[in-house]
Amino acid sequence: MRSRTQFPLEPAAAVTVHKAQGLHWTISIFTNAQFYVGASRVKTMMGLHLIDFDPTKVQVDQEALPEYERLWASTLP
């Protein structure tokens, strides 16, 4: 005689961070390897959740820093 065990399934959905490009979310959850794309999709800081975030692992294009600093300095207070 054979038997089987069944487990209840719950409907769920997920989207990769790259699929989320062009979309805006109320809440975003992603890892530090996906920082820029994920962080730029969330609508508010309250909806931004960083899991095991290590800011030293975020890599920045050094050639882009002067432009970033120029833009940051030119923003209104």
Q: Report domain extents, the chain.
A: 28-73
The dihedral of CA 34, 35, 36, 38: what is its sign?
A: positive
Read off the amino acid at residue 29.
I
Read off the amino acid at residue 5.
T
pLDDT at residue 67 tops 80? yes
Whether 48 contacts 41, CB under 8 Å: no
Rounded-to-integer distance, Cα 9 and Cα 7, Å = 6
pLDDT digits (tens, 9 = 90+) for 7-47: 888 887 777 767 766 777 677 666 666 777 777 777 788 87
